[in-house]
Amino acid sequence: MSGWFHTVARPGDEVEVRGPLSGFFAWPGDRPALLVGAGSGVVPLMSMVRHHRARRLTVPLRLLVSARGPEELIYAREYGAETTPVFTRSAPEGTPVGRLTAAHLAPLLAQRPEGGWEAYVCGSNGFAEHASRLLVEAGQPVDRIRIERFG
């Protein structure tokens, strides 16, 4: 959508706008959260990270975030030890480049806290499908995966 506004739409064009068509999720902060996002899909996940920090919550929280490269990593300066970046097009020297894989999720899922993870996935339709499929294949229960998607 925003790409269309940037490359196709011109000043004076009329557009019709409707409300959101997808669902959303909210993390209450009372259970371990495994956050998986790509691009601007990290925005709602970052609010969860900030909530975790502001409330000094002790429940485990991990963030796996995918971006084309370090220069497109939204909130890069705010990330801490809870964050694992995945770069799909360019990466710092010595960092692998490629799409999110089961190998990226495995170390996080291996840290399975008591009671297990509640997984939150946010990104484009394609990313959300891919990431949720990887989570299920890795043994994450389907009923403990929350998805926000766009596109």
Spatial separation of the C-alpha atoms in residues 14 and 46, rounded to whole Å: 33
pTM of the model: 0.84
Which stretches does DSSP call E strand in the chain? 33-38, 61-67, 83-87, 118-124, 145-150
pLDDT at 1 over 80: no
What's the pLDDT tens digit per position in 85-109?
A: 999 999 999 888 999 999 999 999 9
CA distances from residue 6 to 41, 43, 118, 149 in whole angstroms, order as listed: 19, 21, 36, 21
User: Residue 53 is encoded by which pair of tokens?
Assistant: 């920090």
DSSP string, 10-33: -TT---------S------SSS-E
Domains and CATH numbers, the chain: 28-150 (3.40.50.80)
